Chains A and B, each alone.
Chain A
Amino acid sequence: MLAGALLLFPIVFPSAFYRDIGVTVLLVAISASAWNIVGGYAGQVSVGHSMFFGLGAYAPALFYTLWGWPLIAGIPVGIALAVGLAVAIGMPTFRLTGHYFSMATIAVAELIRIFTGTWNFVGAAIGLQGPATARGWWDLTFRGELPYYYIFLAVLGVVLFTTAAIEQRRFGFYLRAIKASERAARSLGVPVRATKMQALALSAAFTAVAGSLYVAKTGFIDPDSGFGILVSVQMVIVAALGGAGTLFGPLLGALILVPLQTTTNSLFGGGGSGLTYILYGGIIVLIARFEPGGLFELWHRVVPERWRGAHA
């Protein structure tokens, strides 16, 4: 039913404004769902996930700028870089407590952001641009929102399908065990470090794809829009609001927050972005304090079992 609504949305709302919101919702949902794999299910809270997003965005743009590659060809490179980075970070930090990992993600993301801003090869502070007009479908550069909408929807479908598959299999059970108690998980033979690493690598790969989609849509990337902390924050808050560790939590969060952000931006004008982030900060604190499981958890607590129908 939800799928039907999502599929039909741009047809029912043909205005560019609504379609743009729809596209943004999908993009945010993709990155938040990607974060969700390692942050929500495995409980390894990355607050620097923009590092993967940025790599996924810069790679296609870079290869286009340097050698005229089609945008789509740069995507696998972005994924490979992101996975490599994930392994590099996971190896030292996953043998320590969870806080080290979180700190490392912030530090590495900042490090990359500043470094990119000084490196002329990748455009320094100015950034890079994608093709202005498409040379073919492989440039993923379209007039109008419609193609983007359905491509993004398809990618979201892939991410959610993968997550659902994981949920059903041993890997998913192990992730949740790790989140609950690494010590107990180990005593049951769960290969904790390897599992965390795989989750991070998978999450990084999907996040990189989100970054690639972003640069395809906006045609532009710079250190802040790629590696900035606000990119990381958005992923986390969207997933946490809807319900970290649930399949549709991130999508729900995106459906709520993106229109909300658009509204506050237009309401508060110039000071808009500042107020938006005050709001974000406040929401995150409230979630942490009162309902870490997000809206899905709230729903489960408030609505008695028998009204909700069968579930696993």
Chain B
Amino acid sequence: MPDTSLPEANLPQANKLLEASNVSKAFGNFLAVRGADLAVERGEIIGLIGPNGAGKSTFFNCLAGETTPTTGRIVFDGQDLTRASSEGHARAGIGRTFQVPITFDDMTVLHNVMVGAFLRHPHRNDARDHARRMIELTGLRPEQRARALGTPGRKRLEIARVLATDPRLLLLDESLAGLTPSELHEAIALVRRIHQMGVTIVIVEHIMEVIMTLTERVLVFNQGHVIASGTPQAVIKDEAVIEAYLGRAHRRPPLAPRPHTGEA
């Protein structure tokens, strides 16, 4: 991997690949993210869950560089990316996919992926070879037109394309949503393969199966910050997490007994 070096990168390489500290993001008067922290170590595969409107998309966009945090720092492999654009994040080694896949519809699968490949391979032939490898990895056909692909195909194309940028950290934004069970299993297998290639992964997801089977550690977002963190098994039993998802509808008067919520 090319060395994206700034002076800070010459510090002893910490294990933390990505560290977001006290990140907040305000839109006018509305505070979407409040003091969120996240630390990802090299080689981890982490899940980010939380109810809708909890701020995780905004936080995700801060990590990807699409949004600049109002306060806080984002440090990637020793490099301060807080103010960097999404181009800067990509060049530093962070790749991301989009919730609704954005493919270059007028171009073929091969050309789509080549756009990604050109980041580290400026010459066309190298880029093309690298792209072909990524396409093979994801099981696509290079000569197909992107607009002819269905949604699962587009999701795979996005993944192939961002992989071609040789990211060290991959941010997946609900990339596995809307798939049939067999497609989902293929997708999970693909993500595992990518992880085995050495890519650190952060997944935002709603699908429990993905979280339980793929991730080693889960962070739960609610109301703009992380309310719980731990293994998937531990987190789903956490009371604060349950309350976040089910809401405060069952707030009881102090003397009434608290029933056990047996749900996962």
A and B touch in the complex (CB under 8 A): yes
Chain A residues close to B by CB (< 8 Å): 168-170, 173-174, 176-177, 180-181, 183-192
Asked if B91 lies at the interface with its beta carbon under 8 angstroms from chain A, I say yes
Shortest B76–chain A CB gap in Å is 14
Residues of B within 8 A of A (CB-CB), count: 29
Q: Across the interface, which residues of B come within 8 angstroms of A191, CB to CB?
A: 87
The verdict on A174 contacting B102 (CB below 8 Å), with A190-B87, A192-B87 known, is no
Q: Are A173 and B111 in contact (CB under 8 A)?
A: yes
Do the beta carbons of B87 and A180 come within 8 Å of each other? no
Contact A174 B87 (CB under 8 A): no
Docked complex Cα distance between A192 and B124 (Å): 19
CA distance A120 to B36 in the complex (A): 63
Q: Contact at A188–B161, with CB atoms within 8 Å?
A: yes
B102 and A181 within 8 A (CB): yes
B97-112 interface bits toward A, Cβ cutoff 8 Å, 1 = contact, 0 = none: 0100011111100010
Q: How far is the CA of A238 from the CA of B108 in the complex (A)?
A: 26
CB of B118 within 8 A of CB of A170, answer: yes
Q: Are B104 and A176 in contact (CB under 8 A)?
A: yes
- What B residues does A174 contact at CB under 8 A? 115, 118
- Decide: A189 and B127 in contact? CB cutoff 8 A: no
Q: Are A180 and B86 in contact (CB under 8 A)?
A: no
Please report the C-alpha to C-alpha distance between residue A190 and residue B112 in the assembled complex, in whole angstroms. 13
Chain B interface residues toward A at CB < 8 A? 64, 66, 85-87, 90-91, 95-96, 98, 102-107, 111, 114-116, 118-119, 122-124, 127, 161-162, 165
Other A-B contacts than A181-B102, A186-B87, 13 sampled, CB-CB below 8 A, are: A168-B124, A170-B123, A174-B118, A176-B107, A180-B107, A181-B104, A184-B103, A185-B115, A186-B85, A187-B66, A187-B98, A188-B90, A190-B87
B90 interface neighbour in A170, A173, A189, Cβ under 8 Å: A189
Q: How far is the CA of A170 from the CA of B115 in the complex (A)?
A: 8
Complex CA–CA separation, A231 to B6 (angstroms): 49
- CB contacts (< 8 Å) of A184 on chain B: these are 98, 102-104
Query: Which among A170, A181, A185, A187 is the interface contact of B127 at CB below 8 angstroms?
Result: A170
Cβ-defined contact, A187 with B106, below 8 A: no
Q: Quick one: closest B residue to A180, CB to CB?
A: B104
* Contact of A170 with B124 in the complex, beta carbons under 8 Å: yes
What residue in chain B is nearest A171 (Cβ atoms)?
B118
Q: Which 6 A-B pairs have the closest CB atoms?
A: A189-B90, A180-B104, A184-B102, A189-B119, A186-B86, A170-B118
Are B124 and A169 in contact, CB atoms less than 8 angstroms apart?
Answer: yes
Least distance between B166 CB and chain A CB atoms (Å): 10
In angstroms, Cα B111 to Cα A177, docked, is: 9
Hey, which chain A residues are within 8 Å of B87, CB to CB?
186, 189-192
Cα distance A174–B90 in the bound complex, in angstroms: 15
Q: Bound complex: CA of A277 vs CA of B87, how far in Å?
A: 43
Query: What residues of chain B lie closer than 8 Å to A168, measured between beta carbons?
Result: 124
C-alpha spacing A177/B114, complex, angstroms: 10
Interface residue from B103, B124, B165 paired with A189 (Cβ < 8 Å): B165
Residue of B nearest to A297 (CB): B106
Which residues on the B side are within 8 Å of A170 (C-beta)? 118, 122-124, 127
The 8 Å CB contact of A187, one of B86, B105, B114, is B86
- Least CB distance, B57 to chain A, in whole angstroms: 14
CA distance A189 to B115 in the complex (A): 9
State whether B115 touches A173 (Cβ < 8 A). Answer: yes
Q: Is the CB of B85 within 8 A of A188?
A: no
CA distance A180 to B115 in the complex (A): 12
Shortest CB-to-CB span from A243 to chain B, Å, is 12
Question: Which of chain B's residues have a CB closer than 8 A to the CB of A181?
Answer: 102, 104
- Tell me the smallest distance from the CB of B148 to a CB of chain A, in Å: 12
Decide yes or no: A177 and B104 within 8 Å by CB, A185-B115, A188-B90 being known contacts: yes
| B118 and A173 contact, CB distance less than 8 A | yes
17 pairs across A/B with beta carbons < 8 Å?
A170-B127, A176-B106, A177-B104, A180-B104, A180-B107, A181-B104, A184-B98, A187-B64, A187-B66, A187-B96, A188-B90, A188-B95, A188-B115, A188-B165, A189-B91, A189-B165, A190-B119
